[in-house]
Amino acid sequence: MKSRRPSFRHPDLPKNDLGYTRRDYEGGDSTLCAGCGHDSTSNAIIQACYELCLEPHRVVKMSGIGCSSKTPAYFLGKSHGFNSVHGRMPSIATGANMANKDLIYLGVSGDGDTASIGMGQFVHIARRNLNMTYIVMNNGCYGLTKGQDSATADRGSASRKGRPNPFESIDLCELAIALGAGFVARGFSGDKAQLVPILKAAITHKGFSLVDVISPCVTFNNTATSTKSYQWVRDHMDATSTFDFIPPRQEITTEYEPGTTQPVTLHDGEVVNFHKSDDSHDVSTRRSAIDTLEFHREKGHLLTGILHLNETLEETHEILETTDTPLNTLTEKELCPGDQALQQLLETYR
C-alpha cells in the first residue's frame, strides 16, 4: 500500500460517541507490500478502536521486530507507540502496564517475533495474564528477511521458495489456551466481518487476549502450496459458532431460539453472545477448546473465531495486589518514607 492516502475527508464522515471519525484512528502510510494481509489487519484494528470509542491517547501500541511489528506506525497515530526489539514486546508491555494500569495496551507481533525469538516472553506474559491484547499477524514466514519458514508454518506447506516445511508447526492458540490465557481467538485478515468483533471483544476482555490473525504474505508465502495463502485459508476456514459483541448500553435486539445462545459477560458489562450450531463447542472450558482445535486440525481445516473465553481470571495487577492508583502517578510524598523512618530503621542495623 505504497500510495499515499488522500488527506481529504468528507465533512459528513460519521463520528463515534466521542466525536471522533474513523480517520482519527488512522496512522501513517503503510510501507508494506501491496495486498499484504497486515494492512487489512491494521484496518480492522482501526475499525475496532473506532467502534469501541476508545480515546486514542489512552491506547498504547507496542511491537517487536518484523513486517508485522511495523504496523503500529500505520494505525492510531494519536497514540504513543513503542517498536521494541525482536521478540521482546511482551516485556516492554509488561513494564508499561505495571507503570499505568489504566491505559489500553495493544501489542502487535508476528509469527517469527512470537513463536521463535519471542516464545519465552510470549509464554510468560500469557501465564501472568497481563491485561493487554496481543495480536499476532501470522503469515508463516519471515517476510522482512525474504521468506524463510517460520515456526507456525504447517508441516508440508511450501512457500515461494518451494521446499515443503519439514518441521512441526506451533499453534499459538492451542498453546495460549494451555497456558491459561482467558481470551484466545483466531481471525483471518481477509474476513473483516469476523475480525473486527473479535478485536473488540479482545480489547474489552480483562486480562490477556490473544488474537492470532492469519495474515498472508503476498510476496513470499501466497503460493498454491502454502497453507497461509489467501486461497487456502478461504477454502479451509471453519468458523466456531458465530457471535455478537454487544456493548453495555446497546439493547439486544436480535432474538434467538432459547438454548441456542451462550452469553458471556465481560467485565464492563459487554456481552459476547455465542450462537451455537450443532457442532460448536463450549468456549468457556480449556478442554473443549483444545479438543475442538484438534478436531478441525485432523480434518485439515482452519478453525477461526473466539476459541476460548474465561472472564473469571485475575490479571497481573490483581495477582500482585498493587494499589489501584497507577504507579506512574504516585508522587514523592507517597513513595519516599522520609528520614525519620530511615533513622528508626537503622536501629535494627546497630
Return residues touching other proteins (CB under 8 A).
Answer: 55-58, 60, 62, 72-73, 77-85, 88, 90-100, 102-103, 120-121, 123-124, 128, 316-317, 320-325, 327-328, 330, 332, 334-339, 341-343, 345-346, 349-350
Nearer to other proteins, 103 or 141 (CB): 103
Give yes or no for a contact between 255 and 261, defined as CB atoms under 8 angstroms apart.
no
Cα 266 from Cα 272, distance rounded (Å): 7
Cα 166 from Cα 171, distance rounded (Å): 16
Nearer to other proteins, 73 or 283 (CB): 73
Cα 275 from Cα 261, distance rounded (Å): 4
Calculate the alpha carbon distances from 302 to 202, 225, 268 in Å: 20, 15, 31
Nearer to other proteins, 96 or 158 (CB): 96
CB of 343 to other proteins, least distance (A): 7
Nearer to other proteins, 197 or 207 (CB): 207
Query: DSSP class of residue 255?
Result: -
Cα 143 to the center of its chain, rounded Å: 20
Nearer to other proteins, 285 or 325 (CB): 325
Nearest to 150, CA basis, from 62, 106, 87:
87
CB of 72 to other proteins, least distance (A): 7
Residue type, 218: V
73: CB partners within 8 A, 6+ apart = 27, 28, 81, 83
Report the relative pairing of strands 261-265 and 302-309 from DSSP bridges: unpaired
CB of 120 to other proteins, least distance (A): 5
Nearer to other proteins, 86 or 161 (CB): 86
